[in-house]
């Protein structure tokens, strides 16, 4: 796939206002390269944490580090499956997800950081293989999810922006207190 195809940023009509806040956080460049580098960066960040940090939260009513990472995983699964759904020509609509309900329904604090990050590595690797198979026509396909029109390209950028957002939260709100 040509780098220029996956470097074209999605427009607002491909993502809606809500998801634009994540897409706008993605640096300029090929989103496939950004997603690959981001995987390495997140894994290094998490592996650098002490084992006891997994249940640490920076405040009351805030997720633990494991829960935050679990939310990143849940979102990665959902965004990747939405990409596949729309790439194959099925426009949805697909349901939204409430992050707090998903975290409450999981036992992320019972898992190790290494287990969670291993799942992320495998999922991101598989997603990249899928994304690399998309041509220009596929990237422009869209559907409805969370009551919002989303293109395949927008979902790829959204995925990168969402993980970048949570890495910043880890660095700014959690790590200074560990």
Secondary structure (H, E, C), 13-69: HHCHHHHHHHHCCCCCCCHHHHHHHHHHHHHHHHHCCCHHHHHCCCCCCCCCHHHHH
Q: Which residues of 69-82 are buried (b: 16+ CB within 10 A; e: fewer)?
A: bbbbbbbbebbbeb
Flag residues of the chain having pLDDT under 70: 1-3
Tokens at 82, concatenated: 């939405």
CB 42 within 8 A of CB 117: yes
Per-residue pLDDT at 52 = 84
Any idea what DSSP says for residue 133? T
Q: What are the residues whose beta carbons fall under 8 Å from the beta carbon of 137, sequence distance 6 or more?
A: none
Contact indicator for 173, 38 with CB cutoff of 8 Å: no
Q: Give residue 118's pLDDT.
A: 96
- The string of pLDDT tens digits covering residues 103-134 is 999 999 999 999 999 999 999 999 999 999 99
pLDDT of residue 2: 44
pTM: 0.94
Using DSSP, state whether 145 is helix, strand or coil: strand
Q: Report pLDDT for 92.
A: 85
User: What does residue 117 show for φ and ψ, rounded to 5 degrees?
Assistant: -70, -30
All domains in the chain, ordered by first residue = 3-177 (1.20.120.450)
Place of tokens 């989303």: 150
Residue 90: closest CA among 130, 135, 136, 150 = 150
Give the span between the Cα atoms of 19 and 123, in whole angstroms: 21
């Amino acid at each position: 796939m040509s780098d220029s195809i996956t470097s074209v940023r999605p427009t607002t009509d491909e993502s809606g206002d809500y998801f634009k806040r994540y897409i706008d956080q993605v640096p300029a460049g090929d989103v496939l390269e950004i997603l690959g580098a981001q995987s390495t960066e997140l894994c290094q960040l998490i592996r650098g944490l002490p084992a006891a940090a997994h249940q640490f939260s920076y405040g009351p009513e805030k997720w633990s580090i494991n829960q935050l990472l679990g939310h990143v995983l849940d979102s990665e699964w959902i965004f990747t499956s939405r990409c596949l759904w729309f790439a194959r020509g099925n426009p949805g609509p697909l349901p939204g997800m409430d992050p707090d309900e998903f975290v409450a329904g999981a036992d992320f604090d019972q898992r190790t950081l290494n287990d969670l990050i291993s799942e992320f590595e495998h999922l991101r690797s598989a997603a990249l293989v899928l994304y690399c198979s998309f041509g220009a026509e596929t990237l422009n396909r869209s559907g409805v999810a969370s009551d919002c029109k989303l293109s395949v390209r927008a979902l790829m950028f959204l995925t990168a922006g969402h993980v970048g957002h949570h890495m910043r939260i880890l660095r700014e709100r959690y790590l200074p207190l560990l």
